[in-house]
């Protein structure tokens, strides 16, 4: 008799939303593997999982039909009470054997640290896989996590994403007794809703995929994806067109259909006069069509739709989709034309009626604050020698930035906010850099996204994000856990990315306090405390740590060393970090870093500065050459470091400091800091504290992980 068999488990469900289906398939695998492993039913063989809109499927080869028996040794009474003097078993031994349900002869003696004891081997019979699975499969189904589930067999019934309508649960070709909700497991799956048979009996895992395929269900997502990709390519190629690639859409149509088939449709070329962004959004986001491009990169008046059938037998489907798209485009054209009956700036007054946040006021209030901040940033950059920064352009772009929120187009296509404003600005002949700035204002949408293309857009995007961040923190809307309704984490990452990628110099704490000023003097007079400003800075630095580590290939301690030294201009901070990275491997550096830590510890031990700090180092109090030399060398190094720092030559500065190592080493070799003479001691402490202070302005060496701290 075979001792293992294939398991097939299919949860037949009404249409599962495409967005959550891939995640659910993965969860099912994890959950089932957990149950199979914890019940010792597999030799680690993997559970294969598949899914289509109306089903979640799991299969596992070689599931043990029965758990292996387990032999357990149970210790009984000690030998002394188990046998009498003649070696005959006593009552105690007899009752132990009885309790263990073994013949007296099967008892044996085991040696333990406490002496010899009677022991019985007990065999625990493994449960059958059938019994275990009938218990575990319903639990596994109920454990699949959903963001929003429902019940359908009454409020106390099973909660699932949609009603379960059939279940296949088979082990080695035999049906398991499983009920999910009100669906009793059998041996029949169900084919495609319109093309297949409603009842498709299977013999188990071996013929399941094939039988479904014959009934127009491709249960393996990759089979569906391959079919779609092949057909899209063929249809587009046939017309000499290129597909507007979109992996998100590809994934969506893969999980929206059980038997996907691509069809091509067309639309009136006169719609091509609308901007590509709008046409593509309508096709992609609203209708889930792939847009097509001609060889020269312009949009073609065609689209590809993926339908859930084998063919469009009478052309009705194509005609239907074309009609829907036509109506959508007609709407978009209507919005495009009505919105532009007045100029973008004419929408400004309407912004006072649109609330950004109850306490932070309307978008009109926000725009006013953004303008102030964008102007200040541009002025600051211009003064730093970035001549492309323009106060006037940044002010105008910030002023226009939110106008599109009250246009019909954005009301209908909210995902096009910013882009629509940019397009309107362009078609109304605002200067190009202003139109682009409005267009790009929400960038970067994620760490992988690009930043605004010009410095005007960068100023507006930063102004927007800093205002949101400082404003929300000021009124207590601080992100916690998964709750971040104003997307402040994304805003913070956006700030870091813009500053770093565009190499824009500015102190974060200074922008924060400018944003705070705009809030407290603005129309809403929102007070921002210093504590809040500090909180925002910490929040930003946290994101910066993450971004810099991910993208700049910097180590945590290098990042922290620069931040702890007070670097809050990210461009400069990165230069410092790179300098640290470059120099930390040189021979003098690490021992010096160790010495700095030692200095820090000595000073901490010496107690509050007031107790020992002299107004200045007094050379006449030196008793050793080593301290005299250190003092003299340090003075010249400090000067050199200052010069290098001023011209941002951080590596040179750090090299200077590192070159001080022999003097520092000799100092610690020859000099006892905590001398008996109070004045001498104070003088030495003052020397060391001066060194630490002067040399920690670029990087805080005590943050660096050195060989000794790593140990």
Partner 1 sequence: MNPKVKTKAPKDATFQNLILQLQKYWSDRGCVLQQPYDIEVGAGTMHPETFLRVLGPEPYRVAYVQPSRRPADGRYGENPNRLFKHHQFQVILKPSPSDIQNLYLNSLTAIGLDLAAHDVRFEEDNWESPTLGAWGVGWQVLLDGLEITQFTYFQQSGGIDLDPVPAELTYGLDRICAYLQGVDSVYDVRWSDQYTYAQVKLLEEQQFSAYNFEYADPIITRNLFELHEKEATQLLNVYERQSDAPNPRFPILAAYDHCLKCSHLFNLLDSRGVISTTERAQLIGRIRQISCRVAVDYLAQQAASRSVAAIEEVTL
Given 15, 131, 501, 663, the residue binding partner 1 (CB under 8 A): 15
Query: Which C-beta is closer to partner 1: that of 146 or that of 668?
Result: 146
Cβ nearer to partner 1, comparing 162 with 489: 162
Task: Check residue 314 for interaction with partner 1 (CB under 8 A).
Answer: yes
Tokens, residue 254: 């893969």
State the minimum distance, in angstroms, from the CB of residue 702 to partner 1.
51
Nearer to partner 1, 89 or 320 (CB): 320
Q: How far is the CB of 232 from partner 1 (least distance, A)?
A: 16
In contact, 371 and 396? CB cutoff 8 Å:
no
Binding of residue 591 to partner 1 (CB under 8 A): no
Q: Which of 107, 325, 512, 541 binds partner 1 (CB under 8 A)?
A: 325
* Residue 351, CA atoms < 13 Å, CB-side half-sphere: 21
Contact status: 307 vs partner 1 (CB under 8 A): yes
Considering the complex, what minimum distance in angstroms separates the CB of residue 248 from partner 1? 15
The CA-atom distances, in angstroms, between 152 and each of 62, 157, 160, 161, 162 are 35, 7, 9, 10, 8
Structure tokens at 697: 């302005």
Which x/- pattern, by CB under 8 A, does the window 53-72 give for partner 1?
x-------------------
Tokens of 336: 């495009």
Q: Which is nearer to partner 1, 34 or 159 (CB)?
A: 159
Question: Is 126 one of the binding residues for partner 1 (CB under 8 A)?
Answer: no
- Of 150 and 707, the one with the shorter C-beta distance to partner 1 is 150
**Residue 253 interacts with partner 1 (CB under 8 A)?**
no
- 610 counts as binding partner 1 under rule CB under 8 A: no
Q: Yes or no: say if 492 and 464 are a contact pair by the CB < 8 Å rule.
A: no
Cβ proximity to partner 1: between 327 and 635 the closer is: 327
Stretch binding partner 1 (CB under 8 A), from 187-195, 388-396, 468-476, 637-645: 187-195
Binding status of residue 17 toward partner 1 by CB under 8 A = yes
Q: Write the Ramachandran bin of 649: left for phi over 0, alpha for psi from -120 to 50, otherwise beta.
A: beta
- Residues in binding contact with partner 1, number by CB under 8 A: 52
Does 267 help bind partner 1 (rule: CB under 8 A)?
Answer: yes
Using left for φ > 0, alpha for ψ between -120 and 50, and beta otherwise, residue 315 falls in: left
Which one of residues 194, 450, 625, 642 is an interface residue with partner 1 (CB under 8 A)? 194
Q: Which of 99, 139, 143, 149 is nearest to 119 (CA)?
A: 99
Read off the tokens for 55. Answer: 């089903």
**Which range of residues in 12-20, 85-93, 381-389, 555-563 is near partner 1 by CB under 8 A?**
12-20
Beta carbon nearer to partner 1, 160 or 539: 160
Give φ, ψ of 615 to 5 degrees.
Answer: -60, -35
> In three state form, how does the secondary structure of 190-227 look?
CCCCCCCCCCEECCCHHHHHHHHHHCCCCCCHHHHHHH
Candidates 58-66, 349-357, 364-372, 441-449 — which segment interacts with partner 1 by CB under 8 A? Answer: 349-357
Q: Give whichever of 340 and 509 is closer to partner 1, judged by the CB atom.
A: 340
Q: Does 285 bind partner 1 (CB under 8 A)?
A: no
Q: How many residues does the chain have?
A: 711
Q: Which tokens in the block code for residue 590?
A: 């690490």
- Indicate whether 406 belongs to the interface with partner 1 (CB under 8 A): no
The whole-angstrom separation of Cα 118 and Cα 156 is 51
User: 365 and 403 in contact (C-beta within 8 Å)?
Assistant: no
Strand-pair category, 164-171 with 174-175: antiparallel
CA angle 299, 304, 308 (to 5 degrees): 165
Among 134, 207, 246, 322, binds partner 1 (CB under 8 A): 322
3-state DSSP helix/strand/coil % of the chain, to nearest 5: 55, 15, 30
Please report whether residue 524 would count as binding partner 1 according to CB under 8 A. Answer: no
Q: Which of 423, 413, 500 is nearest to 458 (CA)?
A: 500
Q: Which of 324, 571, 582, 638 binds partner 1 (CB under 8 A)?
A: 324
Q: Which stretch binds partner 1 (CB under 8 A): 16-24, 239-247, 427-435, 577-585?
A: 16-24
E strand spans, 145-288: 150-151, 159-160, 164-171, 174-175, 179-180, 183-186, 188-189, 200-201, 242-243, 261-266
Residue 363 CA from chain centroid, whole number = 29
Output the DSSP codes for 408-471. Answer: HHHHH-GGGTTHHHHHHHHHTT--HHHHHHHHHTT--SSTTSPPPSSHHHHHHHHHHHHHHHHH
Helices and strands (H, E) in the chain, number of each type: 26, 20
Any contact of residue 707 with partner 1 (CB under 8 A)?
Answer: no
Contacting residue, 104, 214, 319, 632, with partner 1 by CB under 8 A: 319
Query: Could you tell me the smallest distance in angstroms from the CB atom of residue 296 to partner 1?
Result: 22
Residue 165 vs 649, nearer CB to partner 1: 165
Least distance to partner 1, CB of residue 297, Å: 23
Minimal distance, residue 235 CB to partner 1, in Å: 16
Which one of residues 26, 125, 323, 503 is an interface residue with partner 1 (CB under 8 A)?
Answer: 323
Q: 516-524 — which CB contacts under 8 Å span 24+ positions?
A: 516/470, 516/474, 518/368, 518/369, 518/372, 518/373, 518/467, 519/360, 519/369, 519/467, 519/470, 519/471, 519/474, 522/365, 522/368, 522/369, 522/372, 523/361, 523/365, 523/368, 524/359, 524/360, 524/361, 524/365
Q: Is residue 30 a contact residue for partner 1 (CB under 8 A)?
A: no
Q: How far is the CB of 315 from partner 1 (least distance, A)?
A: 8
Scanning 9-17, 561-569, 580-588, 646-654 for contacts with partner 1 by CB under 8 A, the matching segment is 9-17
Q: Does 327 bind partner 1 (CB under 8 A)?
A: yes
Q: Can residue 672 be called a binding residue for partner 1 (CB under 8 A)?
A: no
Residues in contact with partner 1 by CB under 8 A are 14-15, 17-19, 53, 148, 150-152, 154-155, 162-163, 165, 182, 193-195, 256-257, 266-268, 287, 305, 307-309, 312-327, 330-331, 334, 353-355, 358
């Amino acid at each position: 008799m075979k001792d293992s068999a294939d398991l097939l488990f299919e949860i037949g469900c009404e249409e599962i939303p495409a967005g959550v289906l891939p995640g659910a398939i993965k969860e099912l695998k994890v959950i089932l593997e957990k149950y199979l492993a914890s019940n010792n039913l597999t030799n680690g063989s993997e559970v294969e999982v598949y899914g289509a809109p109306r089903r979640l499927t799991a299969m596992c080869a070689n599931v043990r039909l029965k758990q292996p028996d387990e032999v357990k040794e149970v210790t009984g009474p000690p030998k002394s009470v188990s046998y009498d003097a003649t070696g005959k078993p006593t009552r105690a031994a007899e009752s132990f054997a009885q309790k263990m349900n073994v013949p007296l002869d099967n008892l044996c003696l085991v040696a333990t640290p406490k002496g010899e004891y009677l022991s019985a081997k007990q065999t625990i019979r493994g449960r059958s896989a059938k019994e275990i699975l009938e218990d575990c499969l319903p639990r596994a189904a109920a454990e699949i996590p959903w963001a929003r589930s429902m019940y359908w067999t009454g409020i106390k019934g099973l909660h699932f994403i949609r009603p379960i309508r059939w279940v296949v649960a088979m082990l080695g070709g035999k049906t398991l007794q499983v009920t999910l909700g009100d669906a009793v497991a059998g041996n029949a799956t169900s084919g495609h809703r319109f093309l297949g048979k409603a009842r498709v009996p299977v013999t188990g895992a071996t013929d399941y995929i094939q039988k479904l395929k014959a009934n127009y269900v491709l249960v393996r997502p990759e089979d569906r994806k391959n079919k779609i990709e092949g057909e899209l390519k063929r249809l587009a190629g046939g017309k000499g067109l290129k597909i507007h690639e979109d992996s998100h859409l590809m994934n969506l149509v893969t999980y929206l259909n059980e038997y996907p088939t691509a069809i091509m449709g067309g639309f009136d070329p006169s719609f091509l006069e609308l901007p590509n962004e709008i046409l593509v959004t309508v096709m992609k986001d609203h209708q889930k069509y792939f847009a097509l491009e001609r060889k020269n990169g312009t949009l073609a008046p065609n689209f590809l739709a993926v339908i859930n059938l084998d063919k469009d037998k009478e052309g009705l489907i194509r005609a239907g989709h074309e009609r829907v798209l036509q109506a959508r485009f007609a709407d978009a054209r209507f919005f495009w034309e009505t919105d532009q009956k007045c100029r973008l700036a004419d929408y400004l007054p309407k912004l006072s009626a649109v609330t950004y946040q109850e306490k932070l006021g309307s978008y009109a209030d926000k725009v006013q604050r953004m303008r102030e901040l964008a102007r200040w940033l541009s002025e600051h950059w211009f003064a730093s020698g970035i001549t492309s920064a323009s106060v006037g352009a940044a002010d105008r772009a910030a002023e226009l930035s939110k106008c599109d929120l009250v246009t019909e187009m954005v009301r209908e296509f909210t995902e096009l906010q910013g882009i629509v404003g940019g397009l309107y600005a362009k078609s109304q002949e605002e200067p190009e850099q202003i139109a682009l700035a409005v267009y790009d204002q929400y960038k970067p949408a994620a760490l992988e996204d690009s930043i605004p293309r010009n410095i005007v857009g960068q100023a507006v995007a930063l102004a927007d994000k800093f205002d949101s961040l400082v404003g929300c923190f000021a009124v207590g809307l601080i992100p916690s856990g998964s709750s971040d309704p104003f997307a402040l984490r994304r805003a913070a990452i956006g700030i870091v990315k813009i500053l770093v990628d565009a190499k824009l110099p500015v102190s974060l704490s200074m922008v924060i306090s400018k944003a705070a000023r705009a809030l407290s003097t603005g129309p809403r007079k929102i007070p921002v405390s210093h504590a809040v400003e500090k909180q925002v800075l910490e929040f930003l630095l946290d994101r910066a740590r993450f971004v810099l580590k991910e993208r700049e290939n910097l180590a945590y301690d290098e990042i922290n060393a620069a931040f702890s030294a007070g670097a809050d201009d990210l461009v400069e901070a990165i230069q410092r970090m790179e300098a640290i990275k470059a120099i930390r491997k040189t021979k003098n550096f690490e021992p010096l870093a160790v010495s700095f830590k030692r200095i820090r510890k000595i000073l901490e031990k010496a107690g509050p500065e007031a107790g020992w700090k002299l107004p200045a180092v007094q050379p006449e109090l030196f008793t050793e050459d080593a301290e005299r030399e250190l003092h003299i060398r340090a003075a010249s190094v400090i000067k050199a470091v200052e010069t290098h720092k001023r011209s941002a030559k951080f590596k040179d500065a750090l090299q200077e400091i590192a070159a001080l190592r022999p003097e520092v080493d000799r100092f610690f070799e020859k000099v006892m800091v905590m001398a008996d003479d109070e004045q001498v001691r104070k003088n030495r402490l003052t020397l060391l504290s001066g060194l630490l202070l002067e040399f920690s302005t670029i990087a805080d060496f005590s943050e660096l992980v050195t060989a000794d701290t790593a140990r």
